[in-house]
Structure 1
Amino acid sequence: MEAKNRNNRQLRQGLCSSRTERRSGTSPSVIVIGAGFAGITAARALLDASIQVTVLESRDRIGGRVCTDYTFGFPVDLGASWLHGVCDENPLAPLIGRLGLPLYRTSGDNSVLYDHDLESYALYDTEGNQVPQELVTKVGLAFEEALQESEKVRKEFSEDISIKRAFSIVFERRSDLRLEGLAHKVLQWYLCRMEGWFSADAETISLKNWDQEVLLPGGHGLMVRGYLPVINTLARGLDIRLNHRVTTVSRHHHGVKVTVEDGSTFVADAAVIAVPLGVLKAKIIQFEPKLPDWKEAAISDLGVGIENKIVLHFEKVFWPNVEFLGVVAEDTHRCSYFLNLHKATGHPVLVYMPAGKLARDIEKMPDDAAANCAFTQLKTILPDASMPINYLVSHWGSDVNSFGAYSYDKVGKSHDSYEKLRVPVDNLFFAGEATSINFPGSVHGAYSTGLQAADDCRMRVLERYGELDLLLPSMVEDGICVPLLISRM
């Protein structure tokens, strides 16, 4: 059966080649703008469908907001690092499984709130005193109950409000949920972790839409060897032009012309726009004619948040064997947390992960000052902490190639904006985590929209050339199921 299918594909490709030759050497072509996960995925699928593809990337590397760094001699992800939803239903799972890449499961719960198991937290106050685990668990339950109560607030209000305001209303009504002292500080830490999930401050996160993301089962798995092996596999054999910053995209009924910063131009039948939402908001790329008002509105209505990583590499481990170290405080801006990579990878590394306003404030600092800020927080809870031997600092908010970490639902805006951003405009097709209505802000969301954009683009291009074969299967096919390699210490 496999041989027969392979022969059928070869026959179809042969027919395409013969028709191509009859058109005096012309063949279907697509330009993909952006070599992040969505763009590389789209280009891979189009090339596999025998369509000529050129990928234009403004950076000097591929991956976009997937950035695996090897400065320390081992992989550390400065951008995306989790597979959210360790299950066969995750569209990325088959690829990761086939590559044999191990995952470290940080939580078996698929919740937005608990991407790490409660028993693997070690929280401290600003005096360096560890918070009793019983209190951490108790406050966690209270936080969940407050979110449940906020559902009642959501139903009562016709207009959208922020998560922060909803919590204020809940605490006014439920005196038993109003916490004081150390318990209040722990509650702020949970809210800080929620802000980290959305890379935004609680006063900007939509009460109406915060839970509209489809959460896949299986919990959360950290990519032990980083995401780079996945992106490199997808990119193999592609024509990728690095340091090619696109400035203009002109579309016509017969094709597209793309101009890059040095004035060079590229022409093709269609284009896949796979740049980050922050880049679209900054209008670095000019569209001619301009995008429709509904598309511009979708770009404007979606939020793009900031979460950064300050990676501290130490000579040896001096911290407890937990997944998260946290500092609790009076408000979320003064709370913080460190991911313990040693537990997952065996390397003596802690990752400080500020989000929202805190991330914006730290981004204004030089790298050495940012690293010192993170280390000062660590010294607050572990006074005997040794100095790091090296550090890395990300700058997703100020990076002109991203202008943010990932998308989220802003107060008063429709969740449908994700779908509107995805919908094609003539022969322009859009992909990326901010075009995924089900999986926004995730790598598997970027991956799935890359496949979908490629499939839509293929249909459009081949239709123009009269080569559309309705018997051909969609490029969005089920892969061979290989079990994921999951560890848990």
Structure 2
Amino acid sequence: MAITKEENLDSNSAVCSSGRDFSISSPSVIVIGGGFAGLAAARALQDASFKVTLLESRDRIGGRVYTDYSFGFPVDMGASWLHGVCEENPLAPIIGRLGLPLYRTSGDNSVLYDHDLESYALFDMDGNQVPSELVTKVGEAFEEIIEETKKVRDEVSEDMSVDQAFSIVLKRRPELRQNGLSQKVLQWYLCRMEGWFAADADIISLKTWDQEELLEGGHGLMVQGYYPVLQDLAVGLDICLNHRVTKVSRRYNGVRVVVEDGRTFVADAAIITIPLGVLKANTIEFDPPLPEWKEAAISDLGVGNENKIALYFEEVFWPNVDFLGVVAPTSYSCSYFLNLHKATGHAVLVYMPAGRLANDIEKMSDEAAANFAILQLKRILPHASEPIQCLVSRWGSDSNSLGCYSYDIVGKAHDLYDRLRIPVDNLFFAGEATSMLYPGTVHGAFSTGIEAAKECREHLMEQYTHLELFQPVMAEEHSTKYAPLQISRL
């Protein structure tokens, strides 16, 4: 595609991949990043009659949301749940309108685990199944320990890790200590909690781990994957794939964005939606540099890692539960598999390592990583067959993500999410790491994209006095045609 190179910001025009110049009559915005936040922002601004160009470094849209069709059917290798299956969820109108089914894995809105207790089948490393009564009993003890850590939090002024608070609670309340198999089950619950944050308990902040807002309705798995939602948001947008941004220059009258091959785009404003891990890596030069408070927010927020190893089998040989788990003496040694067959009818198990374990597995080849997951499976189901196909994600080492999603580091303030969101002149910021209410979620990323579009629109009203003639953000066809969410629990 032809790209026009524009060096004069005084032109008040934007240049996009189609080679067309936008006239002064319409405000122009460059959106950097084609994940949910970027697509939401671009969709909202285009529906409000803005001239929008979206630059995406990958060869696909979606960012850390990726539906893979290699097995012949959709498998989400990134985000796969709707957290909060209710009409209040910002994504509910789109999912309902598209008629996309959800499989509810939990009616509980807890951040501790996104599956109901009765949907677990836990095993020790010798392949012996843990009695369901013990799983429930230890789960109740785990929740009581969590409640006790909140008392510890109220008593101390300085922050500490969740793991350190656990140790304090177990010293105070020795009756909550678990031994033998029960201790291994407790570690498995801790492992699942770590999976929620994509980080280990010894680096998760006690002060702020539960500060996000939880929507009602529990957790719902996207049965057909998230890609149909991405497609819907992307219709009609000017999206430039394989456009890796290397420099963003801002001036009083516009922004200039340079991509890897030297081509340049200019516009009135830009919305930055790239992942926190990429911001941390400083692979994009900002001219002038971002303010110190913005750089501190980027530095002080944590970014965790969680991966998926999808194993496709000829037939089902495992129990009809949502989750299979391996209990072990440490949370690092525990494992868990999502059973996609129960939700989708396909014979697929998805191994989901998080934190340090995810980072360690990324050091392996795809074949070795898949074999590692298969070994964990055969520990609990010795007669497990070999998979016919495997998929392996690498969110931590992928240069387009450099991590999975954000979490609160010990000793750092929860308002860092809001600081990361605050605009800098004509640069606006969106993404899950800018969401105070819903960090680490797809609907959090989506809602910040809508908010950034709104703030950008209001900012440009000072330059374009005719903006009151434009449509409201999110045109009618993208917001009001609502259908109830389709929820199943097989």
Relative to 1, partners in 2 of residues 1:471 and 1:40: Cα closer, same or farther, differing over 3 Å? closer
Contact 2:124 2:326 in 1 (8 A): yes
Shift of 1:458: 1.1
Number of the residue aligned with 1:483 = 484
Number of the residue aligned with 2:15 = none
| Rounded Cα–Cα distance in structure 2 between residues aligned with 1:154 and 1:24 | 57
Number of the residue aligned with 1:264 = 263
Return the letter of the residue paired with 1:225: Q
Relative to 1, partners in 2 of residues 1:474 and 1:239: Cα closer, same or farther, differing over 3 Å? closer
Q: Map 1:226-265 to 2 at 5 A.
A: 226-265=225-264
Q: Secondary structure at the match of 1:203?
A: coil
Contact 1:57 1:240 in 2 (8 A): yes
Return the letter of the residue paired with 1:237: G
Number of the residue aligned with 1:3 = none
Q: Secondary structure at the match of 1:312?
A: strand
Shift of 1:473: 4.7
Contact 1:455 1:476 in 2 (8 A): no
| Rounded Cα–Cα distance in structure 2 between residues aligned with 1:479 and 1:337 | 39
Number of the residue aligned with 2:9 = none
| Rounded Cα–Cα distance in structure 2 between residues aligned with 1:355 and 1:473 | 41
1:185 aligns with 2:184: yes
Return the letter of the residue paired with 1:80: A
Number of the residue aligned with 2:428 = 429
Number of the residue aligned with 2:210 = 211
After the TM superposition, which parts of structure 1 deviate over 4 Å for at least 4 consecutive aligned residues?
A: 23-26, 470-478
Count residues with an aligned counterpart.
467
1:165 aligns with 2:187: no
Number of the residue aligned with 2:290 = 291
Number of the residue aligned with 1:11 = none
Number of the residue aligned with 1:105 = 104
Number of the residue aligned with 1:354 = 353
Number of the residue aligned with 1:6 = none
Number of the residue aligned with 1:438 = 437
Shift of 1:481: 3.3
Contact 1:455 1:475 in 2 (8 A): no
| Rounded Cα–Cα distance in structure 1 between residues aligned with 2:134 and 2:344 | 29
Return the letter of the residue paired with 1:353: M
1:410 aligns with 2:409: yes
Q: Any idea what the Cα deviations from partners look like across 1:10-47, whole Å, max 9, x if unmatched? A: xxxxxxxxxxxxx9655210000000010011000000
Structure 1 stretch displaced more, 459-468 or 289-298: 459-468
Return the letter of the residue paired with 2:365: P
Q: Any idea what the Cα deviations from partners look like across 1:45-92, whole Å, max 9, x if unmatched? A: 000011000000000000000100000000000000000000011110
What residue ranges of structure 2 are gaps of 5+ in the alignment? Answer: 1-21
Shift of 1:466: 1.9
| Rounded Cα–Cα distance in structure 2 between residues aligned with 1:85 and 1:54 | 31
Return the letter of the residue paired with 1:390: Q
| Rounded Cα–Cα distance in structure 1 between residues aligned with 2:75 and 2:295 | 36
Number of the residue aligned with 1:340 = 339
Number of the residue aligned with 1:34 = 33
Q: Secondary structure at the match of 2:113?
A: coil
Shift of 1:461: 1.9
Shift of 1:471: 9.8
Shift of 1:113: 1.6
Contact 1:31 1:56 in 2 (8 A): yes
Contact 1:423 1:430 in 2 (8 A): yes
Q: Any idea what the Cα deviations from partners look like across 1:415-460, whole Å, max 9, x if unmatched? A: 0000000010000000000000000000000000000001111111
Shift of 1:474: 5.3
| Rounded Cα–Cα distance in structure 1 between residues aligned with 2:340 and 2:260 | 39
| Rounded Cα–Cα distance in structure 1 between residues aligned with 2:131 and 2:191 | 19
Q: Any idea what the Cα deviations from partners look like across 1:318-347, whole Å, max 9, x if unmatched? A: 000000000000001100000000000000
Contact 2:44 2:473 in 1 (8 A): no
Q: Secondary structure at the match of 2:350?
A: strand
Contact 1:159 1:412 in 2 (8 A): yes
Shift of 1:482: 1.4
Over the residues paired in the alignment, what is the CA RMSD in angstroms?
1.3
| Rounded Cα–Cα distance in structure 2 between residues aligned with 1:310 and 1:167 | 30
| Rounded Cα–Cα distance in structure 2 between residues aligned with 1:293 and 1:173 | 42
Return the letter of the residue paired with 2:433: A
Shift of 1:476: 9.5
Relative to 1, partners in 2 of residues 1:444 and 1:476: Cα closer, same or farther, differing over 3 Å? farther
Contact 1:95 1:479 in 2 (8 A): no
Number of the residue aligned with 1:195 = 194
Return the letter of the residue paired with 2:145: A
Relative to 1, partners in 2 of residues 1:331 and 1:38: Cα closer, same or farther, differing over 3 Å? same
Contact 1:451 1:476 in 2 (8 A): no
Number of the residue aligned with 1:464 = 463
Shift of 1:212: 0.3
Relative to 1, partners in 2 of residues 1:470 and 1:154: Cα closer, same or farther, differing over 3 Å? farther
Shift of 1:472: 6.5
Contact 2:26 2:49 in 1 (8 A): no
Shift of 1:468: 3.7
Q: Secondary structure at the match of 1:140?
A: helix
Relative to 1, partners in 2 of residues 1:184 and 1:24: Cα closer, same or farther, differing over 3 Å? closer
| Rounded Cα–Cα distance in structure 2 between residues aligned with 1:417 and 1:480 | 35
Relative to 1, partners in 2 of residues 1:71 and 1:135: Cα closer, same or farther, differing over 3 Å? same
Number of the residue aligned with 1:127 = 126
Contact 2:308 2:350 in 1 (8 A): yes
Q: Map 1:306-317 to 2 at 5 A.
A: 306-317=305-316
| Rounded Cα–Cα distance in structure 1 between residues aligned with 2:77 and 2:344 | 15
Return the letter of the residue paired with 1:303: G
